[in-house]
Amino acid sequence: MSLRPLADWLVYLLVRLFVCLVQSLSLERCERVSAALAWFFADLVKIRGRVVDDNLRQAFPDMSSIERRAVTRGMWKHLLLMIAEIAHAPRRIHDTNWRRFIRLKNMGPMMRLLWEDRARVLVSAHYGNFELAGYTLGLFGYPTFSVARTLDNPYLDRFIGRFRGAKGQHILPKQGSADEIAALLAARQTLSVLADQHAGPKGCWVDFFGRPASTHKAIALFALSNGAPLAVSFARRLGRPLHYEMGIEAVADPHSLPADLNGVPELTQWFTRELEGIIRTAPDQYWWLHRRWKGEPPAKTRRKEKPAATAVGSP
């Protein structure tokens, strides 16, 4: 008899107990605890310390080692506080008081995008509190369909899904949902995607912080093939816990794209560049834990191999 279901249930129970503990604390206390744990994770244990430091070196070559340590510590504090904010949000943010917590930027483009009777694709990154952004849009009456990996633990997967779906944020599995996404866009729904993860050697290679990064082609394809405006969005913390600025940084509309954006590589580079600009405004709110840069574009690899082949065949 497999012990996996029991182990999954015990992990789920521990997570629920942890959430109850977090909810029993004030957000101010959560912030102090997050700051202390951030020092422990960043400076003492140094979880994924080499990955984080290498990423920061690549993205900010002029940043000193002291500055990189400060950003790393700030990143951990942000991640831990983000967990506390997600636990507190359903009890604190409602349709009558959201203005106490959320400030909207670029209100005009945002409302036009949401009111138009068209499909739309919202692109963001592992930056700020992207979970809160989906929750808030659902609170406004604009449900979104987000792509996420199904968790191995079914109890945790259902638990997190209930939070995300409480106000209308529906989750689509990362694998095998292409047909469902096409149907949703044809029905003029809103697709929300995080566009800053490595897409493998067959992805669309674009510049990200001065280095080639493989990015998923499907994002630009969804927008171009469905005539759906592609909007780069963000939810940036404004200093205090659970206080955020949400907005649209830029919009690319397939109905009026300039010639230099009317293609998958060009549109992918465009939204990647916009995301980079957002991240630069508050680097400590970005997840530098990911190995965003892996390998090299296939074309570059072939160019490197060609001289060697010539040398072997030469007399």
pLDDT digit string (tens) for 177-191? 888 998 999 999 999
Write down the residue that tokens 């990064």 correspond to: 213
CA distance 306 to 295: 18
pTM: predicted TM-score of the whole model, two decimal places: 0.89
266 Cβ neighbours under 8 A, 6+ residues apart: 260
| pLDDT recorded at residue 299 | 63
Q: How far apart are CA 185 and CA 261, in angstroms?
A: 21
* Backbone φ and ψ of 190, nearest 5°: -110, 120
Q: Which residues contact 185 (CB under 8 A, 6 or more apart)?
A: 119, 121, 191, 222, 226, 228
At 177, the amino acid letter reads: S
121 and 193 Cβ atoms separated by less than 8 Å: yes
CA neighbor of 130 nearest in space, from 246, 283, 19, 228: 246
**What pLDDT, on the 0 to 100 scale, is given for residue 167?**
67
Phi-psi region of 204 (alpha: psi -120 to 50; beta: other; left: phi over 0): beta
| Helix runs in 60-187, H state only | 65-92, 107-115, 130-139, 154-165, 178-186
Name the β-bridge partners of 247.
105, 234
φ and ψ of 195, to 5 deg: -110, 30
Which H/E stretch holds residue 7? helix 4-24
The tokens for 27 are 């957000």
Instruction: Write out residues in the chain with pLDDT < 70, as ranges.
Output: 1-2, 167-168, 299-315
Torsions phi, psi for 258 (to 5 deg): -70, 160
d(CA 4, CA 35): 34
Q: How far apart are CA 233 and CA 114, in angstroms?
A: 13
Distance CA 19, CA 25 (A): 10
Q: How is residue 13 written in tokens?
A: 């129970």
DSSP letter assigned to residue 240: S
